[in-house]
Amino acid sequence: MKTLSQWMLLLTACASLVACGGGSDHPPAQAQLRVIHASPDAPNVDVYAGGNKVLSNVPYQAASGLLTVNPGALAVKVTPTGSSTGVINATLDLKADTLTTVVAVNEVAKIEPLVITEASAAPATGKARLRVVHGAATAPAVDIYITTPAADLATTAATIPNVAFKGVSAALEVAPADYRVRVTAAGSKTVVFDSGTLPVAAGNDLLAVAVPQANGSAPISLLLVSRASSGNVTQVLDVNAKLRVVHASPDAPAVDVLANGSAILSNVPFFTASSYLTVPAANYTVALNLAGTSTQALTGSLQLAKASNVTVFAMGLAAGSPALQYLVAKDDASLPPAGQAKVRVVHASPNAPAVDVYANDALVLSNVAFPAVADYLKVPSGSYVFKLRAAGAAASSAPAFTSGAVTVDAGKIYTVVARGLLPNSTGDSSKDFTLSVLADN
Residue 15 clears pLDDT 50, i.e. is over it: no
Express as a percent the part of the chain with pLDDT over 70.
Answer: 93
pLDDT of residue 191: 94
pLDDT of residue 220: 93
Express as a percent the part of the chain with pLDDT over 90.
Answer: 85
Do 361 and 313 form a contact (C-beta atoms < 8 A)? no
pLDDT of residue 13: 39
Domains in the chain: boundaries: 1-21+29-121, 123-236, 239-331, 335-441
- Average of per-residue pLDDT across 427-436: 93
Residue 119 clears pLDDT 60, i.e. is over it: yes
Residue 17 clears pLDDT 50, i.e. is over it: no
Cα maximum dimension of the chain: 96
For 266-294, what is each residue's pLDDT tens digit? 999 999 999 999 999 999 999 999 999 99
Residue 258 clears pLDDT 70, i.e. is over it: yes
Residue 425 clears pLDDT 80, i.e. is over it: yes
Closest C-alpha among 340, 339, 333 to residue 441: 333
Return all residues near 313 (Cβ < 8 A) that are at least 6 apart.
Answer: 246, 248, 326, 327, 328, 329, 346, 348, 371, 373, 417
Is the domain covering 1-21+29-121 a CATH 2.60.40 domain?
A: yes
Residue 7 clears pLDDT 90, i.e. is over it: no
Helices (H), 299-419: none
Three-class DSSP category at 440? coil
Closest C-alpha among 63, 75, 49, 51 to residue 8: 63
Between 25 and 293, residue with greater pLDDT: 293
- Average of per-residue pLDDT across 153-173: 95
CATH architecture of 335-441: Sandwich (2.60)
CATH architecture of 123-236: Sandwich (2.60)
pTM higher than 0.85: no
Alpha carbon distance, N-terminus to C-terminus of the chain: 34
pLDDT of residue 263: 95
pLDDT of residue 214: 75
Give the strands of the sheet with 45-49, arranged side by side. 52-58, 45-49, 72-80, 88-94
Is the domain covering 239-331 a CATH 1.10.530 domain?
A: no
Residue 12 clears pLDDT 80, i.e. is over it: no
pLDDT of residue 23: 44
For 307-324, what is each residue's pLDDT tens digit? 999 999 999 999 999 999
pLDDT of residue 334: 86
Summary mean pLDDT of the chain: 91
Return all residues near 167 (Cβ < 8 A) that are at least 6 apart.
Answer: 133, 134, 141
Residue 25's pLDDT band, with cuts at 50, 70 and 90, is: low
For 182-219, what is each residue's pLDDT tens digit? 999 999 999 999 999 999 999 999 999 999 987 767 88
Residue 75's pLDDT band, with cuts at 50, 70 and 90, is: very high
Residue 27 clears pLDDT 90, i.e. is over it: no
